[in-house]
């Protein structure tokens, strides 16, 4: 930046003086210029996510004007659908708990419907009274990193193949081979016993069969990603009184015996809560209290996502549905008219993460031919490529359902079972599916028989 009225600089008489002059000129950029033209994105938001300040670099990536962003959009609005869901259910709650998060992989929307992989770091700024004032966020372009990771994976696979070929070419003595064969047989026997034990334990956490509901068809499927690990997905369907039934589906954090313990506690808590107060939001509130007091208060936070509903018969064969969600993927409704859409359940945080989480009940009606689908994120987070950057996603699931609507509950589950099998090794998390459908009305006939 030029300064008027300054005396002229002396002529450069050597390389050292020239270098000093060049660095001095570079360092004369204003802090505002450095912020606006930084090689990464910067933005500051209020605690509710409303954008208060954003630099030109990030605006350029997004293809947006400052006036359309500042005070009008939230940080989550800049993200893709999957990124927005992750932000609301994981990123934002953890940031409020910890005060900062660093190096979180997300994707922002770019002009023309594109996606830009980014690494996001956020820090909460506090006032003198330790009250949170705003959130400062740094956004780095991670496109090169993704390319590097893919190249790293390719080279690792090549090295693994070379190592395997070298080991295959190495001759072993007869005694060592016999010992290895015996050890293999013993390991297989141990694994079979472990797999059987885990399968029995897993079944004990889920209902053996679904009860029969008058005027409603039900179907369920549980896919175990690994027979060597206990999963944390759960579901249930049970009567509340003579006319109403409760159902729920969810996913606890973690794997193994600890997850199984939380799953058992969650199922029994929801069953007891529903019989005391069947309002879906109140049932989740009761579960949130139990998990928070049992785990988080002791310094070992454990949480789950869950969607809880009540079904009640209505007029003309319809079924009234009331739902509440705690950080869970939205329910999907396939209508008799041939379309499909997500059923919004706003306001639900992860269950058990904070002492007083808000939950909201939403309502819908299933007419004859309509089907409601609940699922865990093992389905939408299945890998469709070699890395975790390529996930199946909710938008693709919606297209899949819309292409098959209308469909009965067992038809929906059958189609999704085929989809899960098609993922192969890309399905590395357990998946629970629960469908409730009102049978389609049969056309009237003049035949008196």
* Residue 193 confidence (pLDDT): 53
> Which three-class secondary structure state does DSSP give residue 382?
coil
| pLDDT value, residue 333 | 98
User: DSSP 3-state assignment of 102?
Assistant: strand
Which class for 152: exposed (0-12), middle (13-18), buried (19 or more C-beta within 10 A)? exposed
pLDDT at residue number 119:
92
Which of 145, 58, 60, 132 lies closest to 105, judged by CA? 145
Residue 71: partners with Cβ closer than 8 Å, 6 or more residues away: 50, 51, 52
Q: What's 79's DSSP letter? A: B
Give tens-digit pLDDT for 157-205.
888 888 878 777 776 677 777 777 777 777 665 555 544 444 444 455 5
| pLDDT at residue 19, rounded to an integer | 67
Instruction: Name the burial class of residue 189, with classes exposed (0-12), middle (13-18) and buried (19+) by CB atoms within 10 angstroms of its CB.
Output: exposed
Bridge pairing between strands 233-239 and 319-326: unpaired
In angstroms, rounded to a whole number, what is the distance separating the alpha carbons of residues 92 and 48?
Answer: 9
CB contact at 8 A, 378 and 223 = yes
CA angle 319, 324, 330 (to 5 degrees): 90
Phi, psi of 302 (to 5 degrees): -135, 145
Please, which residues have CB within 8 angstroms of residue 22's CB and are 6 or more apart in sequence? Answer: none
Where do the H-state alpha helices sit in 205-357? 256-276, 280-294
pLDDT number for residue 1: 40
Cis amide bond preceding 406, omega within 30: yes
How would you list the strands of the sheet with 114-126, edge to edge? 51-54, 41-46, 132-141, 114-126, 100-110
Question: Who contacts 175 (Cβ-Cβ below 8 Å, separation ≥6)?
Answer: none
pLDDT at residue 444 in the model? 45
Q: Both tokens of residue 380?
A: 């939408």
Which tokens in the block code for residue 295? 């785990």
Question: What span, in angstroms and rounded, lies between the C-alpha atoms of 305 and 328?
Answer: 5
- Low-confidence residues of the chain: pLDDT under 50: 1-11, 13, 194-202, 444-449
What angle (nearest 5°) sits at the alpha carbon of residue 416, between those of residues 412 and 421? 155
Residue with tokens 């409303």: 50
CA distance linking residue 377 with residue 380, whole number of Å? 5
CA–CA gap between residue 340 and residue 432 (Å, rounded) = 20
Q: Strands (DSSP E) along 127-216, which ranges?
A: 132-141
Contacts of residue 291, defined as CB under 8 A and 6 or more positions apart, other chains included, come to 262, 265, 266, 302, 303, 304, 351, 352
Given this model, what pLDDT does residue 260 score?
Answer: 81
Is there a contact between 251 and 232 (Cβ–Cβ < 8 Å)? yes
Torsion of CA 296, 302, 307, 308, to 10 degrees: -60
What CA–CA distance (Å, rounded) separates 361 from 357? 13
């Amino acid at each position: 930046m030029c300064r008027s009225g300054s005396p002229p600089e002396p002529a450069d008489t050597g390389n050292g003086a020239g270098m000093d002059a060049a660095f001095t000129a570079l360092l004369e950029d204003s802090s505002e210029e450095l912020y606006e033209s930084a090689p990464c994105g910067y933005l500051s938001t209020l605690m509710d996510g409303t954008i208060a300040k954003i630099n030109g670099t990030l605006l350029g990536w997004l293809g947006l004007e400052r006036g359309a962003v500042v005070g009008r959009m939230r940080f989550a609005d800049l993200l893709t659908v999957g990124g927005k869901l992750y932000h609301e259910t994981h990123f934002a709650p953890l940031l409020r708990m910890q005060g900062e998060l660093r190096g979180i992989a997300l994707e922002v929307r770019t002009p023309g419907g594109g996606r830009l992989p980014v690494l996001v770091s956020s820090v909460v700024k506090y006032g003198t009274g330790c009250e949170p004032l705003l959130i400062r966020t740094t956004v780095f372009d991670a496109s090169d990193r993704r390319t590097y990771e893919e190249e790293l994976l390719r080279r690792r696979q090549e090295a693994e193949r070379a190592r395997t070929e070298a080991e295959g070419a190495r001759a072993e003595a007869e005694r060592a081979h016999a010992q290895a064969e015996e050890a293999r047989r013993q390991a297989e026997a141990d694994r079979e016993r472990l797999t059987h034990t885990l399968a029995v334990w897993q079944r004990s956490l889920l209902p053996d069969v679904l009860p029969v509901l008058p005027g409603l068809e039900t179907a369920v499927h549980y896919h175990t990603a690994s027979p060597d690990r206990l999963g944390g997905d759960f579901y249930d369907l049970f009567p509340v009184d003579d006319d109403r039934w409760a159902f729920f589906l969810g996913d606890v954090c973690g794997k193994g015996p600890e997850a199984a313990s939380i799953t058992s506690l969650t199922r029994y808590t929801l069953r007891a809560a529903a019989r005391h107060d069947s309002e879906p939001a109140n049932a989740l509130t009761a579960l949130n209290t139990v998990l928070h007091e049992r785990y988080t208060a002791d310094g070992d936070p454990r949480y789950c996502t869950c969607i809880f509903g009540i079904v009640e018969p209505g007029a003309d064969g319809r079924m009234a549905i009331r739902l509440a969600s705690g950080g869970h993927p939205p329910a999907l409704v396939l209508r008799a008219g041939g379309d499909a859409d997500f059923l919004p359940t706003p306001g639900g945080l992860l269950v058990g993460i904070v002492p007083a989480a808000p939950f909201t009940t939403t309502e819908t009606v299933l007419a004859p031919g309509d089907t409601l689908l609940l699922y865990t994120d093992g389905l939408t987070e299945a890998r469709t490529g070699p890395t975790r950057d390529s996930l199946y996603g909710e938008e693709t699931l919606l297209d899949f359902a819309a292409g098959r609507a209308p469909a009965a509950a067992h038809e929906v589950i059958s189609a999704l079972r085929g989809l899960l099998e098609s993922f192969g090794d890309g399905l590395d998390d357990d998946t629970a599916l629960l469908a409730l459908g009102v049978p389609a009305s049969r056309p009237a006939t003049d035949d008196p028989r």
